[in-house]
Structure 1
Amino acid sequence: MASTGLRKELECSICMSVYTDPVTLRCGHSFCRDCINNMQDTDGGSGAYSCPECRATFRKQPPLQRSISLCNVVENFRSTPSHQEEITGIRCTYCIHSPVPAVRSCLLCEASLCDNHLRVHSKGPEHVLTDPSTSLENRKCSVHKEVLKYYCTEDAACICVSCSLAGEHQGHRVEMLDEASEKKKKKLRNVLLKLDSKRNKTRDRVHSLEERRRKAQEKASREAERVTALFIDIRRRVDDLEKKVLRKISRREEQVSLLLSDVMIEKLEIENDKLSRKMRHIEELCNMTDPLTVLQDPDTGDLCDPEEDGGDEDTGGHDGGDEDTGGHDGGDRGAELISHISHTLSAMIRGINVIFYVQDPADILLDVNTASNNLLISDDLKTATCTRITQNRPETAERFQDYDQVMSRRGFTSGGHYWDVEISGSGWWMVGMCYPSIARRVLHSHIGNNKSWCLYKGQVYNNQYSLIHDSKEIQLPQQISSDRVRICLDYEAGQLSFYELCDPIRHLHTFTAAFSDPLHAVLCVYEGSIKISRGAMRNHHRRILPSNW
């Protein structure tokens, strides 16, 4: 603001502009040379001269002294950037010696005025003052060249008095420009408030989505860490079990080999001693001279029979068979060890959450006898499509009446099963399982009551997805991006799980209940269609999907 104060000090009191070729009177006041010369020419006719600033009088025309220092200050001021900025806008029309910024424009005079000239400007009502403008001709009527004072509400145009009284807007409803402007400003303020509210809601929505994305990323990171740790632990346990099994097998092999070696050697030594005794006895008999002694020897009956000697060899062979029996006993113990290890490994695998799927699918077919009249069932009994053309099916006790629903023909009373669906269309839908005793003809016969469990997608709350049972709703924190859903049943475990078939597969929720009746697949579709893409069964001793996957 220092430049503004300096400008005041450098203004000529006659032209109200910055000095041009400044000169100084004897009284000390300075003026533009041309300005003071004009004043002295006027005063010369009266025979006296005076200072325009302090009114000091002079009998003779006072000499004009050029102020070199003041000239230098004025030149420096004119060259400063602040002064250049001040004069880059609209300039005062009447400040001809030095450019001065204008503060107002007169539409009647078609001139722009600075502060000093605005003070002496006419205050008449016909002199309409506006913000400084270079296009003052746009503020006048192009036909009558009069100032635009009124606003035609019917044609939404600014008009002059002549347009309203005798021109093309004659008889139209008109308003003063200020009044019309205030009304429009009021509307714009209302629009601004609405836009501001909408912007705030959008900003809140963005923050909410960013927070949900952050939480989803954190959850995914935690799940990845948990799965990584799980598989590291699985690999460690399998490696430890492998080493343990190999060590046991090796020790058992050593024990059996050592046992077989000791038994065989011991039996062979016994057999060798027995044969040696027999040979010595025979040699003694052969050396005897008394025939009566030789013939009456009680042990010679077996020794002289070569067939029986062969039988003794067979007996020895049978002893070898005993050795084989001993080896068989060792084999039985090895089999028991292998069986024990196998059971241990099976128990550990059952404790690990591993997914096993069956190769052969089992068909799940829709029961047309249960289908609502607003559902069109495909020929292969796999697809249910909502239609506004009634199917005119007979009304029976088993047919759904109030909702567009259909059940499967088959119910499940044991084992593990899963089936997939593909959804097309943007309407709301439900998929799940129900007891056959579910109501068919009353208000609360929709899926999600106390006899059914379902995954629900609605349109009311921004396509919110929920899990429903016994009319109790569990909203999913995230929307489902895939159009394929898997429903898994483990009847004995009392678990019904829902999964989104994306990459990777995502667990949505698991219901836990003590199932008492057969469970049927059930669909409800309000717009579009739902197709059962596949279904499969598992042995009831195994899980289809772990509940905490």
Structure 2
Amino acid sequence: MTKQHITFTFNPQTVNMSAASCLLTEDQFQCSICLDVFTDPVTIPCGHNFCKTCITKHWDINAPYKCPNCNDIFYTKPKLQVNRFISEMAAQFRQSAQQKASSSSSEQQVSKPGEVPCDDCTGTKLKALKSCLVCLASYCETHLEPHLTKSGLKRHQLIDPVENLEGRMCTKHDKLLELFCKTDQMCVCMLCTYSDHQGHSVVPLKEECEGKKAKLGKTDAEIQQMIQKRRVKIEEMKRSVQLSKKDADREIAAGVQVFRALKESVERSQAELMDTIKEKQRETEKQAEGFIKELEQEISELEKRSSEMEQLSQSEDHLHLLQSFPSLNSAPPTKDWTGVSIRPPSYEGTVVRAVNQLEETLSKLMKKLPELKRVQQYAVDVTLDPDTAHPNLILSDDGKQVKHGDVKKKLPDNPKRFDYCPCVFAKQSFSSGRFYYEVQVKEKTEWDLGVATELINRKGEIKLSPQNGYWTIWLRNKNEYKAPAGPPVSLSLKHQPEKVGVFVDYEEGLVSFYDVDAAELIYSFTGCCFTQKLYPYFSPSNNDGGKNSAPLIISPVNHTE
């Protein structure tokens, strides 16, 4: 808050001034003893002004008579007379300040439930802006003004408004908790140091807070490091998720095709199974309907015979009864149904046979799925470029093999040649489309394979990573496979590949590596952004005393069946 300025207009009849008004600040009307606006101001011989009561009490206690401001000594007590000019100016300042405070208070917020109210407000309580730890009171904007302008009050410690300021008082001595006992690790008042905490290591709260702040700073630095590590881990996980999503999208596309065919096969097998079962059921129902029809016909004949016999037995015509008796005395001819029954058809094995047939269909579909077969159609002829080869590398005459030699050859150091790492590029470059090649790595304990951009650094030590223009995988220590994708990714392989296939889709931003013999994907870089020519990259690594003497061999592609 800026220092308040108030314009005073003085009556010329009361104060002899050449101007009608002047612009002054509260500091100019403040007694340096009571730190309040002058009451009955007096001027002492050195020229400083004080409240009459304040300077009188000061001289009653302190001797000799000295000015509290400049320490001038007066050997006789000065005669004090009220300075009417300053008195009237102070009165007008006080009145103007009260009017301004009254006006501004109407614009301030009234304290709501849960908010800290101003302790100095009478009537309607305004919302407090700050609490004073020295005064143990909370103040609104208006009543906070003295703490912001008066030099004595400016030294008070202000904090965001809080309730229960009494909680900052010692419950035993009713004094402000302004010290910290390091022995008991608690806040205490001055009187506590003479009783319960006598002889303890006690320091001001500010001093202890400084130490705590230093520790907080150290802890915060550690936390920031932890945050940074976790942010790096988040980025790593995001990259992994992106890679996973690309792989997932590709697999989903292949999976949708397979499962669509599988779904059609399942639906077809299900329909055939239902038709078979329903056909057997229809045959059973048809047989039963035939038997039931015969039985119903026989029942009709028997009921007819029974009715005739009943009528005959009630007849009074003795002659008719005797004549009809022979033909009605026996039952009409019927079929012997004792051995006749409807046996439910057997469905045993029907579902099993359908499932077995479905498994055969699925197996055929899976044989059509291998990804390696799809990428091998983009096979290209690759040969090594001797102008890029490190002087220790030995290339075959046909440019298809490279190994590390113990003797460094004297070769012209052109800009394309690797001079520190045992690497070599292929002659062929690619800036669009798809390409695939295979490299034999059999019997090697270390190697690097992949692709790199045209403008990579070929001098000095090389760090393989996509950020540096390399998309590779490597073998170290015979069985430690990794993909340097930023932080290297460890690769868990079921078998040690003897031949590695490298596939690149330039527009898709994809670089994939395959175990050719196992027809399995080793690793894929996805979401790459290629803007330069790409060259096949090879490094047979160091000879290692003959342990890694086998060459890398660019092999012709034999398409998998």
The two structures have a TM-score, normalised by structure 2, of: 0.32
- Structure ID, larger Rg: 1
